[in-house]
Structure 1
């Protein structure tokens, strides 16, 4: 039998957490909506506004560099990646989606730091718009829950 598991509500308390957000400007109408939903959810979960550091980068491929710079500061409990990659007519979509996703995962493991990956990879703008609010909220919830879990485990 497994040990008693704390409810996820216990892990969604962000009052003592510091969170870094890296947002891509490319497809900015989508990433702004992601960021707004993410901020609103972080605040609703108790993360203090002064403990949220938000930076913008040109596009999804630049997100990992900024995440790494924030991770190296060793002052964040979690990071969040916000971006939007929309399929085009060339292989560039696969390159950007695969490289940004793999880099975000590698950074999380290398720094033992939760990074919520909300870089949307979609076929068109309509799909991005349909996901932008929910994914922004989800990223905030993942960051807070995983920060609390990793803090508990260490």
Structure 2
């Protein structure tokens, strides 16, 4: 059974400056969501970070909420939590695929997101995965976000004047040169 296989878990990253995480959860299955949130909170607090929590109606709204938060707030990273249990229709496939793909696309834009949206066949599978004392997928999603934040801080501090410069930064640099021709 997959729940009893051992696997390697990266050591927790450490941070010079505290991290601020937004946990976005769909509490469609409230007890499962509550367990996942508990695991995520504990993982963030274990590195001295802080968290905010928002709830959205379903898994499809999680990436949208993260996108809004990224544009309008100052979080270092995000934890996406929810549960999709297979039903009798193809709606399960749509929700699983579309929520996962949207989170992946946000990540490829540079957001630090831990994806903890469970996609399971039945409730017992979800309960085992959500339980902080068992598979703790909420804590695992928070750990993933924290590792990505650590990478972005490491590489963000090493910026060099070589390679691609985002357009917004290029325009900022051009404006500074125009305002200060001696620069």
TM-score above 0.5: yes
Q: How does 1:97-108 map to 2 (within 5 A)?
A: 97-108=96-107
Mapped to 2, the partners of 1:10 and 1:25 lie a distance apart of 27
Match of 1:3 in 2: none
- 1:148 equivalent to 2:150? Answer yes
Structure 2, unpaired ranges of 5+ = 1-9, 157-183
Runs of 4+ in structure 1 off by over 6 angstroms are none
Equivalent positions of 1:23-42 (< 5 A) are 23-42=25-44
- Taking structure 1 as the reference length, the TM-score comes to 0.87
TM-score (norm 2): 0.73
Report the structure number with the largest CA radius of gyration: 2
RMSD: 1.6
Aligned length: 143
Q: Confirm or deny that 1:123 pairs with 2:121.
A: yes
Name the CA distance, whole Å, in 2 between partners of 1:63 and 1:144: 18
Highest RCO, 1 vs 2 (Cα 8 Å, sep ≥ 6):
1
Task: Please tell me whether the aligned partners of residues 11 and 149 of structure 1 are also in contact (alpha carbons under 8 angstroms).
Answer: no
Higher helix share: 1
Structure 1 counterpart SS, 2:128: helix
